[in-house]
Amino acid sequence: MEDREGLQRAIEAYRDSHWEQILADIGSLVSIPSVEDLRAAAPGAPFGPGPRAALDEALAIARRCGFRTGESDGYIGWADLPGTGPRQLGIIGHVDVVPAGPGWHTDPYRLSRRDGYILGRGVMDDKGPLVVALHALAFWKDRGLPLPWSVRVLIGTDEETAMHDVAHYRERFADPDFLFTPDGQFPLCYGEAGICHGELSSAPLGEGDILQIEGGQAANAVPGTAQALVRGAFASADPRITAVPEGDCTRIQTTGTAAHASLPEEGCNAIGLLVSFLLECGAGTAAERQFLELLGRLHGAWDGSGLGIACSDGHFGALTAVGSVIGLRDGRLVQTVDFRYPTATSAAAIGEAVDAAARACGGSFRIVHDKAPFLMDPDSPEVAALLASYEAAAGEAARPCTSKGGTYARCFTAGVCFGPEKPWDQAPSWVGGLHCADEGASEALLKEAFTAYALAIGAVTGT
């Protein structure tokens, strides 16, 4: 049997000899704006033409790697490496992305390479890690010795919204015996907080003073920009806020810092800036201001304390509440809210408390969808195998953790999130994070992930 150090040297040599092709494959996926567009959904393209095109390209990459591929009605695809036994290891990533949004310094749909980093929408979430994992499996295929387990790389197309792709798959196929997703952080995430999205709506406002308002593009992101057109004359001395006259109105624009909704402390909510400014300058009718005051309580504390729902537990820490998208709909102000909650509460309890606060000002709140908290045994042999693989690849000891992110791992019987992010590693200021402008990934980190994934495939399958 090959010793572990010899195996790791072989993996790293294979990785380095294939690295330019790996980057080219990531680039081919990044070039496809695979944002969900349900208005253009069609048979075979249930989430629109972008995700369908990205699925086709990912399957083409898998076939070029020599894998047998398949797909189910455009919801999800897969690449298979048959094994000698009945057990199956699953690896699942996704090719859909959030909208590019403003603020990019490079073309978001063209892979850029700079000083050891690659930039482009999806290089880290999740096109880059998916391609890396696919090529890590190709290492084992090219060795020509069958694994004791079969391995299936699943290619999702609806992770950023509702994960209907996985629901479709699980109605038709059995779960893998164990699964990991390269769509989070190292060393390993064995649990994910509950996630629910809801809509906070005002009472009908009639002929109000807020003629337009908009901000945010995705329910699961801290918005980086927002704007409103409001009757009256207003001025701002805050460099993050511009106020420009338009007739008898003022166009107000705010610039914050975008971030993933699971990490609100890393961002500055542009809708919160806008709401604060409107309240401070006395904008809006009495009915509008009553609802703005409720929004001020939401945006004033991302731990939910302004709405009376703050709580925490030992696995996931404190609840988070992020006002992510705002607009006018049917004469009402509507604010989408992202909640990441611990085991100390539930979506039902959150909904009841927030709806009570909304009704006090004539509005309402409803839960749009919910995913309960997910926990897997951190002492399982599969978790131990992945941790050992990470430790060998990274050269450091590791302990499993939990996350407030939402990944495919929570959808399966036995699954975890396994890299490739390292939040503790400081990237240059010009490298953006997940769901942000200038999204970037370190080539060194992706190379380390390749090694960890290839080792993990061997360790889990008992090779």
Domain positions in the chain: 4-193+374-460, 195-371
Verify cis geometry, omega within 30 degrees of 0, for the bond prior to 126.
yes
pLDDT at residue 278 in the model: 98
> Between 59 and 436, whose confidence is greater?
59
pLDDT bracket for residue 291 (50, 70, 90):
very high
Residue identified by tokens 């699925």 is 55
pLDDT at residue 446 in the model: 98
Tokens for 237, please give them.
């001395």
Instruction: In whole angstroms, give the CA distance from residue 68 to residue 408.
Output: 22
Instruction: In whole angstroms, give the CA distance from residue 377 to residue 413.
Output: 12
> DSSP for 396-418?
S----EEESS--GGGGSSSEEE-
Question: 195-371: which CATH number, 3.30.70.360, 3.40.50.300, 3.20.20.120, 3.90.1150.10?
Answer: 3.30.70.360
pLDDT at residue 260 in the model: 87
C-alpha closest to that of 126 among 151, 163, 169, 89: 163
pLDDT at residue 4 in the model: 86
pLDDT bracket for residue 217 (50, 70, 90):
confident
pLDDT bracket for residue 449 (50, 70, 90):
very high
Instruction: In whole angstroms, give the CA distance from residue 75 to residue 73.
Output: 5
SS3 200: strand
Instruction: In whole angstroms, give the CA distance from residue 70 to residue 172.
Output: 13
pLDDT bracket for residue 381 (50, 70, 90):
very high
pLDDT at residue 434 in the model: 86
Instruction: In whole angstroms, give the CA distance from residue 384 to residue 265.
Output: 31
End-to-end distance of the chain based on CA atoms, in angstroms?
A: 9
pLDDT bracket for residue 218 (50, 70, 90):
confident
pTM: 0.79
C-alpha closest to that of 228 among 213, 246, 215, 239: 213
Q: CA neighbours within 13 Å on the CB side: how many for 111?
A: 24
Provide CB contacts within 8 A for 456, sequence distance 6+: 180, 385, 386, 389, 390, 418
Which amino acid is it at 247?
A: G
Question: 4-193+374-460: which CATH number, 3.30.70.20, 3.40.630.10, 3.30.420.10, 3.40.50.720?
Answer: 3.40.630.10
The percentage of residues in the chain with a pLDDT greater than 90, rounded to a whole number, is: 91
Each residue of 43-88: pLDDT tens digit?
A: 999 999 999 999 999 999 999 999 999 999 999 999 999 999 999 9
Across the chain, mean pLDDT equals: 96
Q: CA neighbours within 13 Å on the CB side: how many for 440?
A: 23
Same fold, 4-193+374-460 and 195-371: no
